[in-house]
Amino acid sequence: MAASTSTSSLSVVGTNLSLPPHRHHRHFHSPSSISTRIRTNRLFLSSSLAFSSPRDARVVHAGLGLRRNTPDVWKHYSSVLSQPTAPVPVRQSCTSCCLASAKKRRSNLPRFVPGAFFDSSSFGLSKDKLRHASVKRVQLPHATVGPDEPHAASTTWQEGVAEKQDLSLFDSELERLEGFLGSELPSHPKLHRGQLKNGIRYLILPNKVPPTRFEAHMEVHVGSIDEEDDEQGIAHMIEHVAFLGSKKREKLLGTGARSNAYTDFHHTVFHIHSPTSTKDSDDLLPSVLDALNEITFHPNFLASRIEKERRAILSELQMMNTIEYRVDCQLLQHLHSENKLSKRFPIGLEEQIKKWDADKIRKFHERWYFPANATLYIVGDIGNIPKTVNQIEAVFGQTGVDNEKGSVATSSAFGAMASFLVPKLSVGLGGNSIERPTNTTDQSKVFKKERHAVRPPVKHTWSLPGSSANLKPPQIFQHELLQNFSINMFCKIPVNKVQTYRDLRIVLMKRIFLSALHFRINTRYKSSNPPFTSVELDHSDSGREGCTVTTLTITAEPKNWQNAIRVAVHEVRRLKEFGVTQGELTRYLDALLRDSEHLAAMIDNVSSVDNLDFIMESDALGHKVMDQSQGHESLIAVAGTVTLDEVNSVGAQVLEFIADFGKLSAPLPAAIVACVPKKVHIEGAGETEFKISSTEITDAMKAGLDEPIEPEPELEVPKELVQSSTLQELKNQRKPAFIPVSPEIEAKKLHDEETGITRLRLANGIPVNYKISKSETQSGVMRLIVGGGRAAEGSDSRGSVIVGVRTLSEGGRVGNFSREQVELFCVNNQINCSLESTEEFISLEFRFTLRNNGMRAAFQLLHMVLEHSVWSDDALDRARQVYLSYYRSIPKSLERSTAHKLMVAMLDGDERFTEPTPSSLENLTLQSVKDAVMNQFVGNNMEVSIVGDFTEEEIESCILDYLGTAQATGNFKNQQQIIPPTFRLSPSSLQSQEVFLNDTDERACAYIAGPAPNRWGFTADGNDLLETIDNASSVNNNGTKSDALQTEGAPRRSLRSHPLFFGITMGLLSEIINSRLFTTVRDSLGLTYDVSFELNLFDRLKLGWYVVSVTSTPSKVHKAVDACKNVLRGLHSNGITVRELDRAKRTLLMRHEAEIKSNAYWLGLLAHLQSSSVPRKDLSCIKDLTSLYEAATIEDTCLAYEQLKVDEDSLYSCIGVSGAQAAQDIAAPVEEEEAGEGYPGVLPMGRGLSTMTRPTT
User: DSSP of 102-137, one letter per residue?
Assistant: TTTT---------SS----S-----HHHHHHHHHHH
Query: Which of 215, 239, 617, 1094 is the catalytic position?
Result: 239
Same domain, 466 and 377: no
**How would you list the strands of the sheet with 942-948, edge to edge?**
750-752, 757-761, 767-772, 942-948, 779-787, 841-849, 832-837
User: Would residue 450 count as lying in a domain?
Assistant: no
Q: What is the SS3 assignment for 997?
A: strand
H or E element: which one contains 879? Answer: helix 873-889
Q: Which of 386, 401, 416 is at the close of a domain?
A: 401
Q: How far is Cα 508 from Cα 496, in angstroms, rounded to an integer?
A: 13
What is the model's pLDDT at position 551? 97
Same domain, 961 and 1032: no
Q: Is 239 marked active-site? A: yes
Q: How far is Cα 7 from Cα 920, in angstroms, rounded to an integer?
A: 35
Q: How far is Cα 1034 from Cα 1028, in angstroms, rounded to an integer?
A: 12
CATH of the domain at 576: 3.30.830.10
Same domain, 684 and 731: no
Q: Is 839 marked active-site? A: no
Which tens digits make up the pLDDT trace of 230-263? 999 999 999 999 999 999 999 998 888 999 999 9
Q: Any known ligand binding at 557?
A: no
Same domain, 612 and 489: yes
What is the model's pLDDT at position 1036? 44
- No. of H helices and E strands in the chain? 36, 32
Q: Which of 706, 737, 768 is at the close of a domain?
A: 706
What is the model's pLDDT at position 1143? 92
Backbone angles phi, psi at 89, to 5 degrees: -60, 150
* Beta carbons of 542 and 15 less than 8 angstroms apart: yes
Same domain, 1028 and 1161: yes
What is the model's pLDDT at position 973? 53
The domain in which residue 916 lies consists of 724-972
Residue 487, class by beta-carbon neighbours within 10 Å (0-12 exposed, 13-18 middle, 19+ buried)?
buried
User: Would residue 929 count as lying in a domain?
Assistant: yes
User: Would residue 439 count as lying in a domain?
Assistant: no
Same domain, 475 and 397: no
Same domain, 1029 and 1106: yes
Number of domains in the chain: 4
Residue 66, class by beta-carbon neighbours within 10 Å (0-12 exposed, 13-18 middle, 19+ buried)?
buried
What is the model's pLDDT at position 170? 63
pTM of the shown model: 0.81
* Beta carbons of 952 and 1180 less than 8 angstroms apart: no
Query: Which of 219, 227, 309, 617 is the catalytic position?
Result: 309
What secondary structure letter does DSSP report for 713?
Answer: P
Secondary structure, 3-state, 242-296: HHHCCHHHHHHHHHCCEEEEEECCCCEEEEEEEECECCCCCECHHHHHHHHHHHH
User: Would residue 424 count as lying in a domain?
Assistant: no
Q: How far is Cα 1124 from Cα 1110, in angstroms, rounded to an integer?
A: 8
User: Would residue 754 count as lying in a domain?
Assistant: yes
Q: Which of 385, 401, 417 is at the close of a domain?
A: 401
- Tell me how far apart the terminal alpha carbons of the chain are, to the nearest angstrom: 8
Q: Any known ligand binding at 240?
A: yes
Q: How far is Cα 416 from Cα 499, in angstroms, rounded to an integer?
A: 16
Q: What is the SS3 assignment for 944?
A: strand
What is the model's pLDDT at position 1159? 95
Same domain, 302 and 337: yes
DSSP string over 378-435: EEES---HHHHHHHHHHHHTTTTTTT-GGG--EE-SSGGGHHHHS-----TTTT--EE
Nearest Cα neighbor of 540 from 146, 101, 152 is 101
Same domain, 1031 and 921: no
| Neighbouring C-alpha atoms within 13 Å toward the C-beta of 142 | 14
User: Would residue 425 count as lying in a domain?
Assistant: no
User: Would residue 140 count as lying in a domain?
Assistant: no
Alpha-carbon separation of residue 1085 from 302, 826, 1080, 1116 (angstroms): 18, 54, 6, 10
Same domain, 1014 and 908: no
User: Would residue 383 count as lying in a domain?
Assistant: yes
Same domain, 685 and 780: no
Same domain, 681 and 734: no
| Residue 1078 identity (one-letter amino acid) | F
Q: Any known ligand binding at 316?
A: yes
Low-confidence ranges of the chain (pLDDT < 50): 1-167, 404-448, 971, 975-976, 1033-1044, 1046-1052, 1222-1257
Nearest Cα neighbor of 959 from 837, 817, 862, 836 is 862
